[in-house]
Amino acid sequence: MAKPATRFICAECGAAHSKWSGRCDGCGAWNSISEEVPLSAGPSKKSLGGIRGKKVPLGDLASEDAPPPRRTSQLEELDRVLGGGLVDASAVLVGGDPGIGKSTLLLQAAASFARAGAKAVYISGEEATSQVRMRARRLGLADAAVKLGAETNLRDILTTLEAEAPDLAILDSIQTLWSDTVDSAPGSVAQVRACAHELVTFAKRSGTSVILVGHVTKEGQIAGPRVVEHMVDTVLYFEGERGHQFRILRSVKNRFGPADEIGVFEMTGAGLAEVANPSALFLSGRDAPAPGSVVFAGIEGTRPVLCELQALVAPSALANARRTVVGWDSGRLSMILAVLEARCGIPFTGLDVYLNVAGGLRIGEPAADLAVATALLSAREDIALPAEMVVFGEISLSGALRPVGQTENRLKEAAKLGFTKALAPAGSKTGTTSGLETRQMPDLATVVGDMFGAG
C-alpha cells in the first residue's frame, strides 16, 4: 500500500501546498504553513465489505415524535442569540479577542444551565481547576453544581464525557486540545480539525450539547481551518472594544434559529450583566445636540437597536486626507463621500473625515447610509440636527434613497425612547406610530437642501 503524500497546510486560510514555503499563496500570510501528517489509507477491503452490508435505519418525516425541547438558561440575552435556547446534541463554536470575556461568559452560562436543572461540565485546557474556582467565587457562582476539569488530551476528555454523560459540555479552548492519533502540535490545522470532528461526532451520538471556544486571528476570524465553522451548528462571535464596558454576542451561523441575532452584555466587577434595553444604554452618554451627532435606528437580527453615529470633518494638512472609521465599513464610507460629491456637489477634498459608532457597536447593514451622510453633512456645515430625530435609509449610487426593511419596528423603538421625529426614504412603510413625525425624502439632494441648505 502506497504511503499517502505529505501536505503542507496554511493555518490562516487552510490552503494546501505540495511543499513548505514562507508565504501562503492563498491568503498572503507569512510563517503560517505547517506540515500535516495524513490519515491512514483506512481498513482493508474485507472489513469495508462487511461495513457495506449493514443496514442503517431511516426516520420518517411524518413521525409524531416531538422534537426535543430547548434548554433555556437564566441569561435571556444568551438564549436569544441561540435562537430560544440550547438544542440537545448541538455543537456551538464561540470566538472572540483575547481577554474579551469568553471564559467569563461561558462559566456564567454553565452555572445558569446547571441551576436550571442541566448537568454541566466545564473543561479548561488553559487554566487549572483552582484558577477556574477562584474566578467562580469572584463571580458569585461557587454554589453552582458545575463539574470542572483541566485536561488537553482529547482521548481522556472523551472518556470522561462518556462516563459522566452531561447535558452540556464546555471546552475552553479547541486550540489547546490534542489527539494522539494526529502527529502534530496542538493548535495546528490538523489537530484543530481532528479534535473538532471528534467532539461534534460525540455530541451527535450522545445527545450532549457541546460548546467550543475558539481563538481568533489578528483579522478577527476564528483561527484554524474554516471547515470547523461548517462542522458546528452555531457560530457565535463575542465582540467589544476594550475601552467600553459593552460586549456584543453575535450569531453569524445558526441552524436552529435566526442568524445575525445579537445579545448585549455589560462588563462589571461581578462579571457580565445582561442589558435588556441596549438602545437606552447606547444612547445614555449623549450630551446636548452637537454637529456630527446622529441617532441611527438599526436592526440587529430581530431586535431594533438605536445607537449614535459621530462624525468629524476637519481641514487636512496632508496631501492625502485621512479617512478613519470605527464600527462601520470603510469602503461604504468612501462610497457615501463619492455620492455626496458627484450627486450633491459637496466635495470633501482636503478634509479629514472621522466616523465613529458610539458604544463599541459594529454596524453592517446598508440602512445606516443616510445616517452616515447626515452626520458627515452636519459636521461639515457645523449644523446640529435635532436631538429628538432618528435617521435611517439606504443610498444608491444615483443618490436616490431606498426603503429598508422593518421600518415599523425601527420607528416603534424610537417612539418608545422618546424620539418625536424621523428621517426616512420615500415609500417607507411607516405604519401608525403615534407621536412620531416622519419626514420621507426621495433622494440625497433633497435631504441636503431641506436639512442643511447646501449643495
Binding residues for ATP, by number, are 96-103
Q: Is 306 exposed, middle or buried (0-12, 13-18, 19+ CB in 10 A)?
A: buried
Complete DSSP assignment for 233-297: SEEEEEE--TTSSEEEEEEEEETTS-TT-EEEEEEETTEEEE-S-HHHHHTTT--S--TTEEEEE
φ, ψ for residue 438 (rounded to 5)? -105, 125
How distant is the alpha carbon of residue 126 from its chain centre?
23
Amino acid at 424: A
Those residues whose C-beta lies under 8 Å from the C-beta of residue 386, and which sit 6 or more positions away, are 289, 421
Indicate the annotated binding residues. Answer: 96-103
What count of residues does the chain have? 455
What span, in angstroms and rounded, lies between the C-alpha atoms of 244 and 281? 12
Q: H-helix or E-strand containing 213?
A: strand 209-214
Helix (H) or strand (E) holding 335: helix 330-344
Compute the distance between CA of residue 272 and CA of residue 266 in angstroms, rounded to an integer.
5
What's the sign of the alpha-carbon dihedral 93, 94, 97, 101? negative
Contacts of residue 4, defined as CB under 8 A and 6 or more positions apart, other chains included, come to 38, 39, 40, 41
**CB-based contacts of 150: which residues, under 8 Å, 6+ apart?**
123, 124, 125, 127, 128, 129, 132
